[in-house]
Structure 1
Amino acid sequence: MQATDFIVARNDLQQCKVIETQLPDAAALPDEALLVKVTRFAFTANNITYAVLGDHLKYWQLFPAPDGFGNVPVWGLGEVIASKHPGIAAGETLFGYFPMATHLVIEAADVNKRGLRDAAAHRQGVSPVYNAYTRVSGDPAFADKQGDYQALLRPLFALSFIADDFLAENEFFGAKRVLLSSASSKTAYGLAHLVHARGIETIGLTSAGNASFVKSLGCYDEVVIYDDVNSLPEDQPVAYVDMAGNSPLRATLHQHFSEQMKYSGIIGLTHRKSSPGEAAQALPGGGAKPQFFFAPDHIRKRAKEWGPGGFDMRFGAAWAGLVPKLDHWMKVSEHRGPAAVQRAYLDTLNGRVPPDQGLILSLSE
């Protein structure tokens, strides 16, 4: 039997193709290994950030591809179709980080009733969250549309949650308003939802084409298109969360707010004309020096402070507060087969996916 992988050229993300590989023989799997069929996965602009930072943050090493190519990591669901681990049965459903592929071999370790870890050597040296799989068989929170929401938003909302916690812990660096670029992105509006609930004024920065959608979300106090950012009053302290990695916009905002720019954090790189290296540097106009926000560092800090289960409990409560809004905020569409996956990838890469659309994909027809 054949397995199918969707791969992209690491030095030119516009170049992509589908390849066929030999599916491992279930009987020949190593001890404690699992053969998992990737049933469906989400694809968002965040996955483009994974590709842009593939070398910088070791994303390409997670799912090896032929020389010069990479397999973009995605969040999704998979079914165990063969198991050499005594504690895991064929037919189980796993939620976690998968390749854009039809199958994955997992070297199961640290197995417990809630989940497991992939101990494959090439997957070490990255944040543990990327190697963890949750056992979700029979869990209604991962069934049907709820499962789609989990794949599309849960990992992004975890970033929103930890960014909100970081800002709150630092009392928003003395800022009275929080500005978010790429305000239509899922991570941005998840963060806006949390910050707004704290009573902090949230301002969404977006393109003219996405302004109506961003206004409809109801989690921004004000929506400003990029061309009009200089109309914002510059006499109050602000914190800026950059979801786009847009260096010219960042420079404009720093020039405009000067010393009133109390925090300038970079979370995403959806604006691919900017490079990771140019982002974190002092800018004219004064104010806080831009810095990358690396969520795993703050997660590790909170995991120690909050103790066993503390992070999951707090995040679960925040997620429960978000879920009722998702039917209004997002239309989920499912696309199957290699051609559909390629089309969805290129549409996302080139900014052709409407902000209210959530893409669920599968390489299986």
Structure 2
Amino acid sequence: MNSTDFIVIRDDLQQCKVIETQLPDAAALPADTLLVKVVRFALTANNITYAVVGDRLKYWQLFPAPDGYGIIPVWGFGEVIASKHPNVAVGETLFGYFPMATHLVIEAADVGKRGLRDAAAHRQEVSPVYNAYARVSGDPTYAGRQGDYRALMVPLFMLSFMVDDFLAENDFFGASSVILSSASSKTAFGLAYLLHKQLGIRVIGLTSKGNVDFVTSLGCYDEVITYDRVTAMPAAKPVAYVDMAGNSALRETLHRHFGAQMKYSGQIGLTHRASDADEPALPGAKPVRFFAPDQIRKRAKEWGPGGVDRRFGAAWAGLAPLLPQWLEVIERHGPSAVSEAYLDTLQGHIPPDQGLILSLFE
């Protein structure tokens, strides 16, 4: 059996193609190994960020590809089509981190009632969250359209949730307003939804002119400002900046505008991928990169077993009913459709009110 893999040139993400790779014979799989069919997966700007930082954060190691190429990790659903693990049945549905491919071989370990882990040696240098798979067969919250919204939003909303938690834990660094760039992005509006519930915090979204109506319609930003008007914001009160865009020029403009009133400057994403290698020292708080797995590990210790999941589950239960109003799920099938969707996402051509659910199967 072959797998169809969607691969990109690691240092030129515009270059992509589909290849066939040989999978091990199902009957000859090693003990505890699973052969999983990748049924469907979400593709968002966050996956482009995975590719941009793939070397630095070891994402390219997760799913090996030919020299110079990489397979971009995505969140989605897989069906176990062959199993050599006594406690994992053929036909089970798994939710987790998959390659942009039709199949994945998993070395199942730590198999429990709710999940399992891929113990493949080449996957062990990343955060454990990326090697964990939830066993979701029969769970209605992972089925159908609800499952699609989970694939699109849960990984991003976990990031939103941990940023909100980090800011609240630090009393918002004394800021009375939080400014979010790329306000139309899924991570940003998930965070805005949470921040909007924080007493005394004003939530300001920065976006392009074309996205103003969408961002305003979400109802979780107190103010929506276009990028060309950021210096018109009053600069007398303390602010925190959550940078979803990774745009150096915008960051410098905001720091120089707010000066010492810039109390926190956290870089979350790289949707614009316009950061300079050598940035000048800026007024206000020193820009820092926020890495969600660090905050997750910290809270896992402090909140105890299941503590993160319970709190996140409560937050997700509030957000989930809103998603059908905010996002239209667009399904695309087959290698050509996946290539087109990938390039559209890379170039920023996907409208913010759409969520892509893809499959390499026709």
TM-score range, shorter chain: over 0.9
What whole-Å deviation, never above 9, does each CA across 1:288-329 have from its counterpart, x for those lacking one? 000000111111000000001111100000000001110110
Partner of 1:54: 54
Number of equivalent positions: 361
Unaligned segments of structure 1, at least 5 residues: none
**CA apart distance, 1:125:** 1.2
Partner of 2:101: 101
Partner of 2:289: 292
Partner of 2:306: 309
What whole-Å deviation, never above 9, does each CA across 1:31-59 have from its counterpart, x for those lacking one? 10000000000000000000000101110
- Structure 2 SS opposite 1:146: helix
What whole-Å deviation, never above 9, does each CA across 1:312-357 have from its counterpart, x for those lacking one? 1000000000011101100001100000000000000001100000
**CA apart distance, 1:278:** 4.3
Partner of 2:168: 168
Pair 1:282-2:281 in alignment = yes
Partner of 1:76: 76
Equivalent-residue separation in structure 2 for 1:79 and 1:342 (angstroms): 23
Letter in 2 for 1:220: Y
Partner of 2:22: 22
Partner of 1:248: 249
- Structure 2 SS opposite 1:204: strand
Equivalent-residue separation in structure 1 for 2:263 and 2:275 (angstroms): 22
**CA apart distance, 1:282:** 3.0
TM-score by length of 2: 0.99
Pair 1:185-2:206 in alignment = no
**CA apart distance, 1:23:** 2.5
Pair 1:228-2:225 in alignment = no
Q: Segments of 4+ in structure 1 off by > 2 A?
A: none
Partner of 1:261: 262
- Structure 1 SS opposite 2:21: strand
What whole-Å deviation, never above 9, does each CA across 1:270-301 have from its counterpart, x for those lacking one? 112325x446x631xx2100000011111100
Whether the aligned pair in 2 keeps the contact of 1:282 and 1:290 (CA below 8 Å) is no
- Structure 2 SS opposite 1:67: coil
Equivalent-residue separation in structure 1 for 2:74 and 2:278 (angstroms): 26
- Structure 1 SS opposite 2:241: strand
Equivalent-residue separation in structure 1 for 2:113 and 2:328 (angstroms): 33
- Structure 2 SS opposite 1:235: coil
Letter in 1 for 2:11: N
TM-score by length of 1: 0.98
Partner of 1:113: 113
Letter in 2 for 1:169: E
Equivalent-residue separation in structure 1 for 2:66 and 2:2 (angstroms): 17
CA RMSD, Structure 1 to Structure 2 (Å): 0.8
Partner of 2:216: 215
Equivalent-residue separation in structure 2 for 1:80 and 1:24 (angstroms): 14
Equivalent-residue separation in structure 2 for 1:21 and 1:9 (angstroms): 17
Whether the aligned pair in 2 keeps the contact of 1:33 and 1:85 (CA below 8 Å) is yes
Unaligned segments of structure 2, at least 5 residues: none
Whether the aligned pair in 2 keeps the contact of 1:101 and 1:363 (CA below 8 Å) is yes
- Structure 2 SS opposite 1:197: coil
What whole-Å deviation, never above 9, does each CA across 1:200-221 have from its counterpart, x for those lacking one? 1100001111111101100000
Partner of 1:41: 41
